[in-house]
Structure 1
């Protein structure tokens, strides 16, 4: 039972992706970590908290740019296809901090779905996945793509997720506390990301940055865990397992971070800046 927390209008995964494809909108995603930072400045493990970050996240939540989507968890809505473990976890989360979160949300607004990048593990049935992956690949098909990610995120390395792009370059950022380098990262994107599709995998930093880049008319998507979910999907994983060559914050173990030899040259050639 939800304690004093209303049901919000949240688009389906497909509706959110269609909005991005059709109108080339930026998207900022708010998950449990971002909302914890909205409520306080204590940090969330890989991202230190600060008054500035909390204020910026609140600014994004309250914003209304025509080329920018604000995404919240599907669990804030009346209906979802999530498995019982996920539903139970989120019910506990809502009962703990839902009242405070509701002060920053608008009951009349229809939000985008933050779970677009969590399309696999958390869902009870998986029949939607081929269509969701098709839509994701449609977003960056024939696009010049700039990936801005943590140094060990390595989106697309060892899979075919970005095989349809026109070109792909990378800016590598700190693996922890990326917000401390926010203005430097933003400056590099303004230099290298114009007339490109920018994909961000930087935790809460990406949530704010996708908003700021919307004001610059640089098409930007907060892609979060999409690559890890795809790897888990390909491996038919039943839980958050470690993935070779990547730093997986949510896995209890960590595999070798070395990139396979047959992938290394292509990956290294894609890097245009390390911060």
Structure 2
């Protein structure tokens, strides 16, 4: 009981300190995000509540915290903050939970527990005069929009913990790389190696990766070396839905 009270006291504090919406950050529309990514072959890296928990030194249910993982996530965001226009990727943030008033979180107790910390950290460190993508790009109702990202790719590298979703790419050349469903970060180097080894024509290949926070680190590494990577997250297994 005491532990639960302490936990909720922290949540309430985070909620109060983040009750106002972001004021400086801007967000691309989903259409513009996809168009810019395709035109400039910019990778897409998406942060959500899990990444913000890691940045705050906490485990998430499918990825244990580590200082190295936190440092890599910080490097990704800091590089984007320093010069977003010259980055090889677009950093996405959970728009719908940032642009709303904190009072909107009261619609659901789970929102307060999950997103108050994210809002607090974002307002303190990331609410700058910068344009982000929306982490909720891969909502189910956006399928016609985000499918454009890989429509013309000659080769798709599908990095996921389940190959059954490969059926979504009819009549396409798809290579599959399996990742563990939990604690994928411990396998980051081998996943990177497998991806690089399998690609023969990086200019005509798109890499679709779902691997939690590890996907962000892999996408950052690959995009820095001329590969095009889309951090798809729960696009197929548990598609995102608009919540607020």
Superposition TM-score tier, normalisation by shorter sequence: 0.7 to 0.9
1:5 and 1:99 in contact (8 A); partners too: no
User: Alpha-carbon deviation of 1:45?
Assistant: 1.1
Superimposed CA distance per residue, residues 126-185 of structure 1 (whole angstroms, 9 cap, x where no aligned partner)? xxx3xx3223222212420111112x363233xxx32263x1010112221110011111
Unaligned runs of 5+ in 2: 1-15, 81-85
- Return the alpha-carbon distance in structure 2 between the equivalents of residues 62 and 88 of structure 1: 31
Q: How many Å apart are 1:85 and its aligned residue?
A: 8.4
Match of 1:58 in 2: 74
1:163: which partner in 2? 170
Compute the TM-score of the two structures, normalised by the length of structure 1.
Answer: 0.68
Question: Could you say which residue in structure 2 is the equivalent of 1:125?
Answer: none
Counting only pairs closer than 5 Å after superposition, residues 145-184 of structure 1 correspond to structure 2 as 145-150=156-161, 152=162, 154-157=164-167, 161-163=168-170, 165=172, 167-184=173-190
1:196-211 map, 5 Å = 196-211=205-220
Partner of residue 227, structure 1:
236
Q: Which of 20, 34, 56 is 1:17 aligned to?
A: 34
Q: Which 10-residue stretch deviates more, 133-142 or 214-223? A: 133-142
- Map 1:1-275 onto structure 2 (within 5 A): 2-3=18-19, 6-7=22-23, 8-40=25-57, 42-64=58-80, 65-78=86-99, 89-90=110-111, 93-117=114-138, 119-120=139-140, 129=141, 132-143=142-153, 144-150=155-161, 152=162, 154-157=164-167, 161-163=168-170, 165=172, 167-193=173-199, 194-195=201-202, 196-229=205-238
Distance 1:170 1:85 in 2: 41
Number of residue equivalences: 215
The SS at the match of 1:108 is: coil
Two-structure CA RMSD over aligned residues (Å): 3.0
- Structure 1: runs of 5+ lacking an equivalent: 121-128, 234-238, 240-275
TM-score with structure 2 setting the length: 0.76
* Higher normalized helix content (fraction of residues): 2
Q: 1:200 to 1:99 in 2, by over 3 A?
A: same
Instruction: State whether residues 28 and 131 of structure 2, in contact with CA within 8 Å, keep that contact through their aligned partners in structure 1.
Output: yes
Report Cα offsets for 1:102-131 as digits up to 9, x if no partner.
Answer: 3331421110111012x13xxxxxxxx3xx
Greater relative CO, 1 or 2 (CA 8 Å, sep 6+) = 2
Shift of 1:73: 0.3
